[in-house]
Amino acid sequence: MAWTPILPLAEIPVGTARPAAVGLDRLLVCRVAASDVHVVDDVCSHDESPLGAQDLDGNVVTCPRHGARFDVTTGAVLRSPAPVGIASYPTRIAGGWVEVDL
Ligand code: FES
């Protein structure tokens, strides 16, 4: 595994999602609970819109364009019009940073 620091944990309030980029990858860092953070693609599988910064609904993120919903713990799609899920990545907290393995 190759862990890449992506955002300081302190910059992500509990219950929110924050976008971040690693190289050309557009990612969304989702802090479900104090020590429960997940990283998914910040690209909706419906029409490639960014999901963007937002308050989470539990472990669910909502696309602002047409309302598709995804489980941030797995990337699974929960509501149409998204046809499939989004990628999710191994994530950990280390030294006060969120790290992702792409
Ligand atoms: S672009 Fe996300 S639901 Fe349409």
Which CATH number does the domain housing residue 96 bear?
A: 2.102.10.10
Number of folded domains in the chain?
A: 1
Q: Hey, is 40 helix, strand or coil? A: strand
Ligand 1 centroid from CA 85, angstroms: 12
* pLDDT confidence bin for 32, thresholds 50/70/90: very high
Model pTM above 0.85: yes
- Distance CA(78)–CA(14), nearest Å, equals 22
Residue to probe by mutation, ligand 1, list 47, 69, 86, most atoms within 8 Å of CB: 47
Ligand 1 centroid from CA 18, angstroms: 18
- Nearest atom within ligand 1 for CA of residue 44: 2
Parent domain of 64 = 3-101
Is the shortest distance between the CB of 50 and ligand 1 below 6 Å? no
Say what the pLDDT of residue 100 is.
97
- Distance CA(78)–CA(101), nearest Å, equals 24
* pLDDT confidence bin for 76, thresholds 50/70/90: very high
User: How many CA atoms lie within 13 Å of 99's alpha carbon, on the beta-carbon side?
Assistant: 12
Say what the pLDDT of residue 30 is.
98
Hey, whose CA ends up nearest to atom 3 of ligand 1?
Answer: 66
> Quick one: average pLDDT of 36-58?
98
